[in-house]
Structure 1
Amino acid sequence: MSRLIIVSNRVAPISEGGPAAGGLAVGVYDALKETGGMWFGWSGDVLSSGQPQIKLEERGPVTFATVSLVRRDYDQYYRGFSNATLWPAFHYRADLLQYDRHDFEGYRRVNAWLAQQLVPLLREDDVIWVHDYHLIPFAQALRAAGVNNRIGFFLHIPFPASQVLLAVPPHRELVEALCSFDLLGFQTTPDLRAFCDYIINEAQGTVRASASGPLTVQAFGRTLRASAYPIGVYPDEIAELAKAGERGKPVRTMKATLHSRKLIMSVDRLDYSKGLVERFRAFERLLENTAALRNKVSFLQIAPPTRADMHAYQDIRLQLEGESGRINGRFAELDWTPILYIHRQYERSVLAALFRTAHVGYVTPLRDGMNLVAKEYVSAQDPENPGVLVLSRFAGAAQELEGALIVNPVDVDGMAEALAQALGMPLAERQARHRDMMVQLRENNVSVWRDNFMRDLQNVGGAKRGRGAKGRGAAGAERASGPSGASGKKAARESVTG
């Protein structure tokens, strides 16, 4: 059986159930344990000096291969092009997009350098699965190094409509780089449709449907396949985790704080794409419009910090702190604080137990690839007395969870009305909605996502069987030069144009 090689920007923590063990970690780590393989990526460390060295760690059948970044590469590849350019553009926030040619050069250079670190570790029959927007040029760099293995790519965030993507100056180079993969996976059919629209109308390529299986895409002299693979969760495991934590200290403390009030709950990374400000204002509008709910409902927002060294994220934190303080100052009473805003991270087991306590799951991003919090909230509910999910139509999960109350996240009044509907929904309706969503979650769990993608990647045609000695030698020369050296720049240029 071929080894599976997972490549992602960060290698996920190995401790299962830890605070950062999200959908990617759960889904692909299980596959690695079953087939044997390697997880390769950035360690998260940034060096102020010295030469990054690859670190290999064996854990059973899985090898974890991690490498540090030097400060310049972190600033250009990660803080710069990945998160100041691609992240806002792919989340339809072109107004927040920042672009610097040097950052894009660094993005390509680091992708080429990372690819060169991986080449000596590869075997001829390895299957390579690359994840997310940080690594769009990765297959192109591997091809330039002589790697002919099957290489798939999965985009965890949205793929923007053509007119939005055009706001990114090197949009054509990015899509051309994507076409070096053998299989592209997107979260939803609208994301796939946006990609195909660019291929047809901007790249003058073609897209053909097949009787079954992925679309066939021809562009930039390449033929590849593309399809939607909505990522899932393990709903029954989350349900057990939530049930087991019901009597834990966090839930007991939360219930004691509530004093029989109903609870609305949100969990998001602190990010401008999550619609947090609009969400706070919709809760304020609920209290404005429905005086009977004052002192009868509390809103818990957990927003762990992310990218704290970037100004846009510092701004959203200050804005949320201001909004929560203003709303609490307006409505709070001596025995009631309307909004509980917590800026820290909790383990998944604690969150699952809190989800089970919450009467409403409040998930209203302005744009999201999938949003697994929505699926985790539904999974964690007591089927005998489930809560209600209020979900943004612009989260990928809205394509599947028809039992949710679907809202437009910029419609403050509409969200307030949905919250009131959720809080007053009869038990029988709540049970029916929850039952229908659990069927969907079980039929499309994270194993189905992973297995469908891997099946289609294994089935791609063409000469994807090995790597010549020339490719290995070129990798060795580049690897010795380091990520920011002259050879690294040359490889980056070749990886984009070759």
Structure 2
Amino acid sequence: MIRGASAHAVNTFIVANRLPVEYHAVAGWRTSPGGLVSALEPALQDLNAVWVGWCGSPTPDDSRGSRPTRPPHSANIAMIEIPLNQSEVSCFYDGVCNSAFWPLYHDSVTSPIFRDDDFEVYHRINQRFASCVASNAPHGALVWVHDYQLQLVPALLRAMRPDVSIGFFLHVPFPAAAEFDMLPWKDSVLRGLIGADLIGFQTASSAGHFIEEACRRLPATRSDQGLVLEDSKGSRGVTVDVFPIGPDTGRFSALAATPAVREAAVTIRANFGSQELILLGVDRLDYTKGIDLRIRAVTDMLKSSEFRDRNIQFIQVAVPSRSELAVYQQLRVKVEETLRQANEELAALGLLPIHYIYETLAVEQVVALYLAADIMLVTSLADGMNLVSKEYVTCREDGTGRLVLSRAAGAAAQLGDAWLVDPGDCDDLKRGIAEAILAGADEARARMGRLRRAVFNADARQWTESFLTRLREAR
């Protein structure tokens, strides 16, 4: 059932694993976490759009049940909830999505786990999403499917509704052949994706990996637009292109200018005393983010003779993530043990301890940290894009601030004026951080100016509008 917009006026469907709101047993309905909601919402306000997704809370196993009634999330964004019971969540979300696809698509930083029974549930959930859209979308609608949780939806939907225009965007990296070969369901995934008219990726390397795999495993050939598919019905073109996602620059700029947020930034610096510099890391607690390696690199650098006499504070925010999974529980233990050892070493030399925050912060608190920090450290081992790096740049309206950025983050392709580092090489991490600290004010401002132009020229609204424009042209 569509709530929030009249069905006959809707021509754009957003299909994602999660709705813009989630249901919490204690807090009730609240905004969903993650970058997709913040990236899409600004542009969708100008459209009569429907968002199809799961609410983040399972229904009972013995019944599909129903959620408490709620007002529409936005006057212009209607919602259709796809129910998942607890056993489906375990197989689909915890199993295939977070234990197979997520690690595999991030260079197998941890070993992926493949279970055929889980993939059967994955197929069933993808079919449920596709059937819902097929039942609700008007003739000729634009349907934009998002991310690795729903890779089978494009082909399943095309089989039922060939009249709609189907786009798919992958927010995470698409793996190279050596990694993709490990996936037991690779042919199903490729055939699912090529049901789309337009397939978008964060980076050119991901788009290239996908085209190579499609040409190698399917009756497909490369074209100027992407792919040409051959089957018994003839040929069909699929457009494949790069659409780097950006932050909601308007929202973050406005927050950074808010007196309360600016005062909070001043308070943060005051609370740490007379420190010369503040280094900052803000990440989900995920093994792709390289938090433990960053802690080790910063600790070694601060202990060195070059920096031991400088008053430098490092703040690391780790946002809880997927804490019900054993691999994430083990990661938390590893990170916090690394932190404990680091702080013992720093304390022995009379140096400032690393300040560690393990909680989900309000966006106003995060922006205050962005304003308080002199140097932002984004050193993920693998990342589709990484919006934290772009949010930090957006908030530095006065042209100050310095960004140390992983070459393995998709953002590095656009933010080449950051101090780029190899995230798996402790010596290179130290080199990049040291160079950012020692750079002159003029160089730092020049770099930040170029970074800001890159971010503001490709923000969330531009990303959404460019993808939907290409989708309209792809049929």
Corresponding residue number in structure 1 for 2:122? 107
Q: 1:333 to 1:387 in 2, by over 3 A?
A: farther
Contact 2:376 2:404 in 1 (8 A): yes
Q: Measure how far apart 1:239 and its partner are.
A: 3.0
Corresponding residue number in structure 1 for 2:49? 37
Letter in 2 for 1:156: H
CA RMSD of aligned residues (A): 2.3
Q: Distance in 2 between matches of 1:236 and 1:369?
A: 23
Corresponding residue number in structure 2 for 1:471? none
Q: Measure how far apart 1:236 and its partner are.
A: 5.0
Equivalences for residues 391-470 of structure 1 within 5 A: 391-461=405-475
SS in 2 for 1:303: strand
How many residues are paired up?
454
SS in 1 for 2:138: coil
1:32-75 superposed Cα distances (whole Å, 9 cap, x missing partner): 32111211100111123343257685331221222331112111
Corresponding residue number in structure 2 for 1:215? 226
Corresponding residue number in structure 2 for 1:194? 209
Equivalences for residues 245-394 of structure 1 within 5 A: 245-249=260-264, 251-290=266-305, 292-293=307-308, 296-332=311-347, 337-384=352-399, 386-394=400-408
SS in 1 for 2:61: coil
Q: Is structure 2 residue 92 aligned with structure 1 residue 72? A: no
SS in 2 for 1:279: helix
Corresponding residue number in structure 2 for 1:226? 240
Tell me the percent identity: 29
Contact 1:185 1:226 in 2 (8 A): yes
- 2:38 alignment partner, one of 26, 33, 39: 26
Give the structure-2-normalised TM-score.
0.90
Q: 1:219 to 1:443 in 2, by over 3 A?
A: farther
Letter in 1 for 2:156: A
Contact 1:11 1:43 in 2 (8 A): yes
1:356-404 superposed Cα distances (whole Å, 9 cap, x missing partner): 11111000111100000011111111425x1110000010000001210
Q: Measure how far apart 1:137 and its partner are.
A: 0.6
Letter in 2 for 1:228: V
Equivalences for residues 163-174 of structure 1 within 5 A: 163-174=178-189
Contact 1:7 1:40 in 2 (8 A): yes
Q: Distance in 2 between matches of 1:34 and 1:250?
A: 33
Q: Distance in 1 between matches of 2:378 and 2:170?
A: 21
SS in 1 for 2:279: strand
Q: 1:430 to 1:14 in 2, by over 3 A?
A: farther
Letter in 1 for 2:432: A
Contact 1:390 1:418 in 2 (8 A): yes
1:293-351 superposed Cα distances (whole Å, 9 cap, x missing partner): 35611111111111111111111100001000110011126986421111101122221
Q: Measure how far apart 1:243 and its partner are.
A: 3.1
Corresponding residue number in structure 1 for 2:4? none
Corresponding residue number in structure 2 for 1:46? 58
Q: Distance in 2 between matches of 1:229 and 1:45?
A: 31
SS in 1 for 2:343: helix
Q: Distance in 2 between matches of 1:170 and 1:7?
A: 22
Q: 1:338 to 1:161 in 2, by over 3 A?
A: same
Q: Measure how far apart 1:204 and its partner are.
A: 4.8
Deviates more, 1:28-37 or 1:397-406: 28-37
Q: 1:84 to 1:427 in 2, by over 3 A?
A: same
Corresponding residue number in structure 2 for 1:156? 171
Q: 1:246 to 1:37 in 2, by over 3 A?
A: closer
Letter in 1 for 2:208: R
Higher relative contact order (CA 8 A, sep 6+): 1
1:126-173 superposed Cα distances (whole Å, 9 cap, x missing partner): 211111100001122223334531110110000010121111111111
Which structure 1 residue ranges, 5 or more long, are not aligned?
A: 462-498
Which structure 2 residue ranges, 5 or more long, are not aligned?
A: 1-8, 24-29
Where does structure 1 differ by over 6 angstroms across 4 or more consecutive aligned residues? none
Q: Distance in 2 between matches of 1:11 and 1:163?
A: 34
1:236-284 superposed Cα distances (whole Å, 9 cap, x missing partner): 5423312324443465144322433311101111101111111111112
Q: Distance in 1 between matches of 2:121 and 2:77?
A: 30
Contact 1:235 1:379 in 2 (8 A): yes
SS in 2 for 1:68: coil
Corresponding residue number in structure 2 for 1:60? 75
1:207-245 superposed Cα distances (whole Å, 9 cap, x missing partner): 111xxxx43442666531110000112335423312324
Q: Distance in 1 between matches of 2:83 and 2:266?
A: 38
SS in 1 for 2:272: helix
Q: Distance in 2 between matches of 1:439 and 1:447?
A: 15
Q: Is structure 2 residue 20 aligned with structure 1 residue 12? A: yes
SS in 2 for 1:301: strand
Letter in 1 for 2:198: L
Q: Measure how far apart 1:289 and its partner are.
A: 2.1
Q: Distance in 1 between matches of 2:134 and 2:395?
A: 42
- 1:140 alignment partner, one of 155, 160, 164: 155
Deviates more, 1:354-363 or 1:143-152: 143-152
Q: Measure how far apart 1:125 and its partner are.
A: 3.0
SS in 2 for 1:181: coil
Corresponding residue number in structure 2 for 1:477? none
Deviates more, 1:245-254 or 1:357-366: 245-254
Corresponding residue number in structure 2 for 1:87? 102
Letter in 1 for 2:308: L
Contact 1:215 1:226 in 2 (8 A): yes
Q: Distance in 1 between matches of 2:135 and 2:415?
A: 44
